[in-house]
Structure 1
């Protein structure tokens, strides 16, 4: 009688566990391969599930580039002595007569020690009128004043110097060793020279981005590209704002990986294989190397190339599938480029759920035996 009772208890426990598993499922890190494929367009879902091939890698292997537009690259260097609004000038005017326009009786020189350049960039000089100073060098201003006075006094001699003010300046902030406002001087007319003047970047150079904001327009470039492409070493302009930032790109790692987290890029270009390695690789006891997925919102143009279609409209959801067990699976993963905002998800191997089921069943059966022993 006790034997039948024991068997009955075991059978009841197993039945309850199986029923519970069927109703609720076991704990896991995310969907399995079957569930991911069920969300494809072919299964009336809203995502395209694509197996990665060499052709797919060629279609998506376009990384967003940084660089300056022609508004920045076509700007010529300005002189280190260029006058700007707010500068204060000192003017000395000699006249070749005893009773000149400006000089007093018995003197032939007139000193205007503090002439400030107004907000519109002009100064006022008696008998010469308003003179455009902003954007000109002291030598150019001297010639303009001389020409205007020459018709009123014989052979005037003019000297112009900057008495106060930095002239053209730029501001540098962010990941730089010396934040501040710097004057554009003869040695620092270009971007690289000014960054060096500010002490250089304060982050890993390979991950540093330099942003320049000028007159409402913005351009960005990788710090290393400034030295590899001379075209990006742009001439600076008064009022430029320079911001140095560390690379802000990241991807999300989920599933049976060594770490489930938001992960920053460690290199300018990051492959799927490098991304997996960066989070500690696949979990040896749980990961399914045939189920490595990369989830991405792809542009219409690239999505059509990948799918071989021309009827897609707008951004598309694509799920790229990497099978690391294929003969060239590791090569495909090495050539697959991860982009900012991607999600890398690795499914659990099928046996993992089976093992969990067995553990749940045997554990529950053991609990039932314990309860039976207690009841006796």
Structure 2
């Protein structure tokens, strides 16, 4: 009799587990979104569908957003114009005897490394200050020569742009040969400068090309720069170029193929790509109707008219069992520091309970046999 009572109690205890939380690897969707509609809820739930995507896409980026933006091939070039801080090499030829400009016994004088002043001018002996700011090397040569002939009518001027600090590009890091590369008056692009530096270092994770110009920073994924000629921007003297690894990441949790921080592998990621990179969702464990993206928005992004999130914490829900959900997941963008979570299927809990019941029944049969 005592054994029977014990067996019955074990079975009843197993059945009571149906209403309890069983040990498992991920939460249920219902547990996470519970109380979302409560008045004091701190988060909102937004389904990712064809109807909602148009509005969601206009919401601000988060987690640092994407890259800092790029300037394109048609912008930024100064066409090799001479600026303050540039250096020019000037040679003055004069065949006249007793020339004011050329030393006795010679036919020329060389002014090497003459730096353009902050006012955009250079000093030429017996001539004075000559403004050449914003001129091409050939225009500057003619400007200087027009001044020189006033004191030496037969003189001729040769000018070459030197390697002043404002006529060079600084390759800082991420290339085989970092250093300062003179432009020498040539029309150079960022790809040609990277090539001069030996190309992008191998092993950099999703390398990002960063251009610093006039105190502003521009960024582009190296893959995009190499693939699209329209992004091959012209360089300016004084530009600084860095190639760095992409440090942006998102977090994969729950019943996905992995649970860890995952760095971006490309310029932008969609929800479907992020799930794939995380190893997909676990067969037999995950609820394909319950893929969630958790995101924090700044308070200044909140809106009440649908043009932005209603609360700072948003849970986006994606149903991968429908065509609409799959197509929407291909478009919905993942931002840095998002959490992509595959919730667990309720069937897993039922299977666990069934297993416990089976164990209890097995114990009862074994006891009865004894």
Q: TM-score, normalised to structure 1's length?
A: 0.74
8 Å contact kept, 2:221–2:266: no
Partner of 1:146: 145
1:79 matched to 2:80? The reply is yes
1:58 matched to 2:54? The reply is yes
Partner of 2:115: 117
**C-alpha distance in 2 between matches for 1:164 and 1:329:** 58
1:279 matched to 2:281? The reply is no
Q: How many residues align?
A: 360
Q: Give a deviation string over 1:16-55, Cα, whole Å, max 9, x none.
A: 77889978x4323343222212241446311111222211
Q: Give a deviation string over 1:61-117, Cα, whole Å, max 9, x none.
A: 4685764359x954334339x587474735334264x3343445x657452454542
Report SS of the residue matched to 2:284.
Answer: coil
**C-alpha distance in 2 between matches for 1:92 and 1:99:** 15
1:6 matched to 2:3? The reply is yes
Change (3 A) 1:280 1:119: same
Partner of 1:92: 92
Partner of 2:42: 46
Report SS of the residue matched to 2:55.
Answer: helix
Change (3 A) 1:26 1:194: same
Change (3 A) 1:345 1:303: farther
**C-alpha distance in 2 between matches for 1:322 and 1:231:** 36
Q: TM-score, normalised to structure 2's length?
A: 0.75
Alpha-carbon shift at residue 216 of structure 1 (Å)? 0.3
8 Å contact kept, 2:85–2:116: yes
Q: Give a deviation string over 1:102-144, Cα, whole Å, max 9, x none.
A: 445x657452454542664654332222344676555444434
**C-alpha distance in 2 between matches for 1:167 and 1:251:** 40
Alpha-carbon shift at residue 178 of structure 1 (Å)? 4.1
Larger RCO: 1 or 2 (CA < 8 Å, sep 6+): 2
**C-alpha distance in 2 between matches for 1:326 and 1:102:** 85
**C-alpha distance in 2 between matches for 1:184 and 1:114:** 17
1:33 matched to 2:29? The reply is yes
Partner of 1:182: 181
Partner of 1:296: 295
Alpha-carbon shift at residue 226 of structure 1 (Å)? 4.2
8 Å contact kept, 1:206–1:268: no
Task: Let me know the Cα RMSD of the aligned residues.
Answer: 4.4
Q: Gaps spanning 5+ residues in structure 2: where?
A: none
- Residues 106-255 of structure 1 aligned to structure 2 (within 5 Å): 107=105, 109=107, 111-112=109-110, 114=112, 116-117=114-115, 120=118, 123-132=122-131, 138-161=137-160, 168-185=167-184, 189-202=188-201, 207-226=206-225, 231-255=230-254
**C-alpha distance in 2 between matches for 1:302 and 1:30:** 30
Q: Give a deviation string over 1:269-304, Cα, whole Å, max 9, x none.
A: 433333323222222222122221111235789875
8 Å contact kept, 2:92–2:110: yes
**C-alpha distance in 1 between matches for 2:99 and 2:173:** 55
Alpha-carbon shift at residue 218 of structure 1 (Å)? 1.4
